Amino acid sequence: RAMLEVLFSTGMRISELVSLNRNQIDGTGRIFIMGKGKKERFVYLTQRAQYYLDQYLVVRNDNFPALFIPYSGRNVKNLRKRISTNYLQERIKFYREKLRINVPTSAHSLRHGFATYLAEEGASPAAIQILLGHESLATTTRYVHASDRYAEETHRKYHPLKEPK
C-alpha cells in the first residue's frame, strides 16, 4: 500500500519510484528525485502517504538503502536489491482486482490521475509541470484530462463578464 500511496501522492514515474533510496526523503515528507534526463526536482508526500510509508519502514527492520525492496527471490540478501517495475505493476493489478475496480489502472494512470486531480482543484499548469518533472508545458497538458464540467465551472468562475453574485 505504501508504494501506491507514494505514487499517487507524488505523481512520480514508476522508474523514479523503484530507484528511490531511503536517504532521498527528508523529515518533512519532501523527496528529492533525479528524474528523466538527470533532471532534479522535489516531490511531496501527503500526510496519508507519509503515514503508510512510516508503517512500511517500521516493519522493514533492515538497513538496505533502497526504499522499496522485494521480500522473496534469489537476491533477497543483496544490499542492492530493489523492487522491479514489473513487480509494481503486478501489485497494482492485484489491488485493482481485490478492490473490484473495473477500469484499467497502472502506475502511469496514477500519474495521470495525480495531474488531473491537481488541475481540477485549481493548481496552475506551471506547478503541475514542475511536480511531474516535464521540460515542456505541452507535455503536461497531455497529462491533464480536465473534465468538461470543470472547464464550464472555470469559465463561469473566472470570465471577466461573469454574472455578479
Residue 17 lies in a domain: yes
Find the range with the poorest average confidence among 65-69, 85-89, 120-124.
120-124
Catalytic residues: 13, 36, 108, 111, 134, 143
Residue 147 lies in a domain: yes
Cell 523514479 -> residue: 16
Which candidate, 75, 76, 64, 93, places its Cα nearest to that of 3? 93
Contact 27, 19 (CB under 8 A): no
Residue 163 lies in a domain: no
Domain that holds residue 60: 2-158
**DSSP symbol at 162:** P
- Residue 55 sits in a domain of what CATH number? 1.10.443.10
3-state SS class at 11: coil
Distance CA 72, CA 79 (A): 13
For 50, phi then psi, to 5°, come to: -60, -40
The number of distinct structural domains making up the chain is 1
Q: What is the mean pLDDT of the chain?
A: 83
Residue 118 lies in a domain: yes
How much is the pTM?
0.78
Sign of the CA dihedral 124, 125, 130, 131? Answer: positive
Contact 5, 52 (CB under 8 A): yes
| pLDDT the model gives residue 32 | 93
For 130, phi then psi, to 5°, come to: -65, -45
